[in-house]
Structure 1
Amino acid sequence: MKIKFILPALEEAKSPFWRPIKYSLFPPLGLATLASLCDESDEIEIVDEHIQEVILDDEPDLVCIETYITNSHRAYKIADHYRSNGIKVAIGGVHATSMPTEAKMHADTVLIGLGESSFPKFLKDLREGKELDYYNQGAVSFDYLPLPRRDLIKSEKYLVPNSMVFSRGCPNRCSFCYISSFYKGGKSFYTYKIDRILEEIDSMKGRHLYFLDDNLFADKKLSRELFREMKGMNKFFQGAITVDSVLDDDTIELAYEAGFRSAFIGFESINQDNIRLTNKRSNLVDNYRRAIKRLDQLGIMINGSFIFGLDKDNLDVFDRTTQWAINSGITTATNHILTPYPGTALFEKMKEEGRILTEEWKLYDTRHLVFSHPKISKEQMEVGYKRAYNNFYKWGNIIKSSSEHEHLKMKLKHFTYAGAWKKFEPVWNFIIKNEQLSKTRSALVKTLK
C-alpha cells in the first residue's frame, strides 16, 4: 500500500510573524512514529509543508494528515482534494481529537488520541475493506514501540533533527492547556522504558538532542535513571521542566551532569492570583527567583513562557512581565495571548459564559485575542503582545539581561544565544534557503556547552 503522511503548514507559518527558522526546528516526529507501524511492504512518504511543497497530483492509496488547531483549515483543504479523487483520507492529531465530528466531515476516518494502538488496527481494517469512521486510542503501551522512521525525514532541512520524547502527556491539569484536551477522560501520562529511551538516543548521530516531552521531569524516578545513563555520553540537550522540579531535590544537578543546558519553563504569569485561576499549582511565583538562581548557578539557560490575558491581568501586564524577565536574566521569551482551545476546561467555561468571540480556528494562534477580556480590549491585547516581544529583544535589553548572570560564561552564552536567535533573521533565511542548517549545528552545540 502507498501511504502518504502530511503535516500541513500552521496558519502562523504563512503570516507576517513567519520566521523560517522557528518552523524549521523539529521534524514531524509523530508521523515518523506512525510510519514505523506500517508494514515493511508499504511505500511510505512523509511531507512537512513547513519545509517543502505538498504535491497534490499524486495517487497514494491512503493519506494520513496530522492536525493542530491552526493548520486545520489547510488540513481539511488537502483532505477534501484527495477525497474528491477517490483516495482514502485519515485525520488525527490534537485538533481532530478535540473536534472529531468536524474532522469527520473531511475524512473517511478520524483517529482520536494517541495512535500507537489504534493506527495498526485501522490499517488492518483498511486492508480488509472494513475500516471504521472513528478509532479511539484504547489501551496504549510503549513497551514494544519501534523507533520512529527517521530515514523518511529530510534531516538536512531541520536545525534540530535529533528530537525525541520518552513520555507522552503531562500529569498536571492546567485549565488552558491544549494537551489536556488530547487526553480528556482518560490516562494523561505515559512513559517509555529506560532501555527503549537509550536505544533511541543511540540511534541518532551528533551531540545535540532536544527532548520534546511536555515535562522532562514528570516521572522523577525515570528521569533520574536516564540522566545517570546519559552521563558520559557527551551529549548536550534541551527540554521543558517546571519550577517546582528545579527546587524539589538534586534532579536538576543530575540533568546538568548529563548535558542539560537549556530549559523551557512555563512561568505563565508573575501574578499569583492568575496562577491560582489556571489550576497550575506547581508553579508558585514566590519560587520563581529561587529556581532561576539555581539554574543560573549551574549554567542552564532559560526560555521563559508567558501568557497575557489571564483574567487578573491589567494593561500593565506586558511591560511588567517583560521587565521582570529582563531583570531575571531570562535568555529567550516565548509569549502567548491566552487562547481557550476547544476541548479544554477553559474553552468550556468561556463558552458557557458567552465570552468566546470567534470560532475561526485560524485565529487561535496565541497572537490574537479570541475571547472577551474583562479589562483589556482586543486591540490593546494584540498591540501589547507585539510590544512585549519587541522590547524584550532590543539590543539594550539583551545586554542588560545578559548582565544579570553571576558568571561571565553565562553572560556570554546568554548574549550569543539570544542575539543569534532573534537578531540575525536575514542570516537564518539565507541559511535555510541554501539548505545549510546542518552546518550550523556545531555552533549551537558550542553555545550550549
Structure 2
Amino acid sequence: MSHPSVAGSPPGTHLWRALTRSPVALAAASMAGLAVLAALIGPLLSPYDPFNPATLNLLDGFTPPLGEGMSGNRFLLGSDAQGRDMLTTILIGSRLSLLVALAATLFSLTVGVSLGLAAGYLGGWIDAAIMRLADIQLTFPGILIALLVFGVAQRLIPTLDDPIRRPPAPEAAALVEVEGLRRSFAAGPRGLLRRREGERRLAVDDVSFTIPRGQTYGLVGESGSGKSTIARLIAGLMPTEAGEVRIDGQPVGARGRRTGRIQMIFQDPMSSLNPRLTVRDIVAEPIRTLGLAGTAGEVTEQVAELLRRVRLEPGAMHRYPHQFSGGQRQRIAIARALSSRPEFIICDEPTSALNVSVQAQVLELMAGLQQDFGLTYLLISHNLAVVRQMADRVGVLSRGRLVEEGPTRAVFDAPQAEYTRALLAAVPRIPRGAGAAA
C-alpha cells in the first residue's frame, strides 16, 4: 500500500526529497545543471567569438590561466598553441556535445518506442523477431557497432576525395589560350666554375592548352615536370623562348600582365607576403598601383571589403603576416590577388602548406569566390584529390610535355597515357575497413 504522503504528491516530489537528503547527490545534480546551462548559453558567456579567425593571435599562444597574452588579450583559463581562448573552447565544445547527446537520445527513444509499440500491439512472430534482433544487437560490443556506423557515414558524407557536387559547366569561350610554350635552362656546371658550352635542359616543351572562362584547369605531374615553370611563364615572371599566352584572344606581353588581369597565389604565403608591411599595405598595393581607388579612405574601404570576402575581420588589416596562422595568411594572399580585379588567377600549390581541415576551408573559399566573381583558375597541385575536387579539366605533365588532357572525371576514371596510370597508381590508399580489420 502506498504511503499517504507519497500517493498524493506531485510528480518529482519524491526525487527532490531524495536529493535533499543526500548532499553528494544534490551537489552532483547542481554541477550537471550548471554544465547544461553553460552549454545552452555558451555563446553569450564566451569572451571571444570562436568562429572569427581575426580574433586569433599566435603571439597569445600558451598563455597561462588568468594571464595576459602579448596582444593584450586576457584569458581566464589560458590559451592553446594557436592563441585560442580555452574557456571559449570549453563552452562551445560542451554545447556541441550536448547537441550530439540530445540527438542520440531522441533517435534511441524514437526507435525504441516504435519497436516496443510494434511488438506489444502486433505480438506473434513480429514480437519474437524484434526480441531476437534485440538479443543479437546486445551480443555485439559497442565498438563494432560504432565502426559500422562510421564506415557507412564515411561513404555517405562527401570528403576531399569526392568531386564538388556542382552542375556541369556550360560551354564557354576560352579566356586563356596557351600555345606552344617552351623554356629551357642551362645544364649543371662542369668542373668547378665552367658550364658545358651550349648544353641546355628543356623544362617546358611545346605545351598548349585552353581554359574556358569561369572554369578551373588542373595541372598535375611529379616534382620537376615543369608545372611551376609554366605558371611563371604565364604570369610573366620569366621570359618564354617560344610560344604565346592570349587572354580573350589578345596576346599578353609583359605590359599586359601588369594590368592586373592575371594574378598568382603562391605555395607558401609566409614567403610571398612582405613581413614588414601590414595586411592593409599588402592588399592595398595593387589597388594603388593600378589606380583603382582615388583616396586613402577608398583604399581602406576596398581592403576591408576584400578581407570580409575571404572571411577575415577588417580589423585584421592593421596586423602583420607573422601574427596569423597559415590558413589566415593564405586568405590574405587570396585577398591580395583579388585586389587588382583579375579575370585569371594562377594557383601554384595553394594548399600544400596547410593541414587537411584548413585545406578544405581554403578550397571552399576559392570555389565560392570563383562563383561570385566569375574567376578562371589554373590550379597546380601534387594533391590529386584536390585537383579532382576543384578542376573541370586536367592536364598531366611529364618531363615538360603534356602527355594527357581532358575532362577531370574522364582522365581520373579512364586514363589513356601510361604515365597518367602510373601517377594515379602511386597515390597511397588505405583500404576502407582496414582499421576495423586491425
TM-score, structure 2 normalization: 0.26
Q: Which has more helix, going by share of residues?
A: 2
Larger radius of gyration: 2
Length-normalised TM-score, structure 1: 0.25
